[in-house]
Structure 1
Amino acid sequence: MGSLLFHINTIVLPYETISRYESSNSFFKVNTGRANTLVQFLLCLGTALARHSKTQLELDTETNTTTPKMLEKLPLEAHASKIYTRNIFLEVEKEIYREMRHCYITSSLEKDGIKKFNIADTNIRFKVVNNYVVEFNTHDTIVSCSCMGFTHVVYLCKHAFCVFRYNEVELIPEKYLHVQWMRNVLPDRVHDVANRYSAEEDEESVLRRNMFELLTDCVDRLSHKLDCLNALYAQLKDIKDKVFKEFPAEPPCNSKHSIISELVG
């Protein structure tokens, strides 16, 4: 196995896949050339996936336990903060901010429930640099912009937000919420202890893990809220005192002899 070479560089790659190939090298932080064995590649893959999982967990925790600062404090902005991941929300927030500062409607026309708006786009000196056409269906809130921004980045552009604000649309329509940008897009089991460490799956072990996860979720949600954390601590202490009073002695399975016997069989 150690002598088996991973000849990924001998594969003829189409031009459009070269950037993806280079991105993969960067992700694994290894040049997957003739000098790398399959074992080395798999070791690098495991390290890269572990690093990626750690980063993903940190970002999810930040998104779920902190509230971003609102630049404009608009209903659309507040809705975006609740549904998007933090990084995507910051990009959407930029579009809303630019819409407020650099976009305005120059003319509009309505026919059969379809509104057509001409949007002027200005630079930092508020000089018009471009014009776009946005169509808005008042019946089903379908919006399309000539800039094709949603097609490129899969979240709405500033011109669409300008039309939404003008028509008092306070929630981003569900049809424009791409699943890859949403919170909790990954199922909880991805970060579950059982998946990461091959934990036992008996009923008691699963219940214990679920209890620890519930407690962790509560502590994370109350981050930087000292009064609430103190209240939660007092409640947990009351529960502990009640349990220790009802069960004053440890069960036999917790004795050193039982633990050693279980480990060595």
Structure 2
Amino acid sequence: MDIQRFNHRKNDHISRNTVPDNFSESTLEDDAMKIYTRSIFADQQAELQGTLSECLPIETKIEEPFLKISMKDWKAHGDGLLEVCFKKGEDVIALCTCRRFEQYGLLCKHIYFVFKMFKVKEIPNKYVMRRWTKDVVPNDLNNTFDITVDGDDAHKKAKEVAYEIMQTGEYLIGNLIKDFDHLLIVRDRMREMKEMVDELRITKPIDPKFDRYSRLIGYEKPNTDDPPTVLKGEGTAADKVANKEGRKRRAIQLEKDPNLVDEEDEEVETGDEEEFEESDEAEDSDFECEDE
């Protein structure tokens, strides 16, 4: 879990605070760089590069209100023939027969090719899936921060401020990691703020580990003050120890006086004799049946 959290924070820091290379220098690539996380941007950057060397337009047909552009994809399976259905305007519509967006939520090189052809400078919002964006994390702060404010709007703003503070700290560390003197200045300022918070006594005590885990899995801590329940026929541990000691004393007495027989032994012996007599009667009845 710690490794996963570290990798998540590391990748999030890289996505937010570093700038990748823009190979095509197009507005679509700049827009994708601002929207997507680093790994998703790498995927979309490869698709944008594919528009230059892998897509060849063949035919354009007008079927109002759409345009249908047929093209050849040199790296596609089969004959590589595809078709993009496109509508330009305030509500841009683009559908490709490769159906990459429907499967993965990411645009394909064929739609990017048509966007370039008709000078669409930004990725339409309808084709940006929120799960691939950089800003997907702030809306998940409910599981991280327990902020008490009045109203949902104030609660949302407080979480945005908390996340901004976290990102600011990561930004400072990322940019000053090689400048030790300025890094010490930031560290000292943060210590001063921590001391101020401690003096105001507004820090929240950390809950015990068991309570944090129990809230996570929805488990309530049992009441240890209740007396222990004993199943019928088992007895307590003290009873078991007493019975064991009694059996030891009885064995020692039998060793000293073999003729000593207590009530329990008599009951066992009489029970065995009764069973033996019943078995003899059953054998006699069998013999009688054979004689007849």
CA contact (8 A) 2:74 2:80 kept: yes
Instruction: Pick closer, same or farther for the CA change 1:190–1:64 going to 2, 3 Å.
Output: farther
**Out of 7, 10, 14, which is 1:62 matched to?**
14
Instruction: Pick closer, same or farther for the CA change 1:239–1:190 going to 2, 3 Å.
Output: closer
Counterpart secondary structure, 1:184 = helix
Q: Say if 2:110 is the partner of 1:159.
A: yes
- Distance in 1, matches of 2:83 and 2:200, equals 75
- Distance in 1, matches of 2:142 and 2:52, equals 39
Partner of 1:73: 25
- Distance in 2, matches of 1:179 and 1:151, equals 14
Mapping 1:79-94, distance limit 5 Å: 79-94=31-46
Higher relative contact order structure (alpha carbons within 8 Å, sequence separation ≥ 6): 1
Q: 1:190 Cα shift?
A: 5.9
Partner of 1:133: 83
Q: Which has the larger radius of gyration?
A: 2
**Out of 48, 52, 55, which is 1:96 matched to?**
48
Instruction: Pick closer, same or farther for the CA change 1:106–1:239 going to 2, 3 Å.
Output: same
Q: How does the TM-score come out when normalised to structure 2?
A: 0.52
CA contact (8 A) 2:173 2:183 kept: no
Partner of 1:52: 4
- Range 103-112 or range 170-179, more displaced: 103-112
Q: 1:114 Cα shift?
A: 1.1
Partner of 1:112: 64
Counterpart secondary structure, 1:68 = coil
Q: 1:182 Cα shift?
A: 1.2
Amino acid aligned to 2:110: H
Q: 1:237 Cα shift?
A: 7.8
- CA deviation string 1:209-262 (max 9, x = no partner): 999975653353356656xx8889879989999xx9xx9xx9698xxxxxxxxx
Instruction: Pick closer, same or farther for the CA change 1:58–1:238 going to 2, 3 Å.
Output: closer
Q: 1:141 Cα shift?
A: 1.0
Q: How does the TM-score come out when normalised to structure 1?
A: 0.57
Q: 1:78 Cα shift?
A: 0.7
Structure 2, unpaired ranges of 5+: 150-158, 202-292
Partner of 2:99: 148
Q: 1:167 Cα shift?
A: 0.6
Mapping 1:170-249, distance limit 5 Å: 170-186=121-137, 187=139, 189=141, 192=144, 194=145, 216-222=166-172, 225=175
Counterpart secondary structure, 2:102 = helix
Structure 1, unpaired ranges of 5+: 1-46, 203-208, 254-265
What RMSD in Å do the two structures reach over aligned CA positions? 4.4
Amino acid aligned to 2:54: H
Instruction: Pick closer, same or farther for the CA change 1:57–1:95 going to 2, 3 Å.
Output: same
CA contact (8 A) 2:72 2:81 kept: yes
- Distance in 2, matches of 1:91 and 1:210, equals 28
Instruction: Pick closer, same or farther for the CA change 1:212–1:149 going to 2, 3 Å.
Output: closer
Amino acid aligned to 2:132: W
Counterpart secondary structure, 2:43 = helix
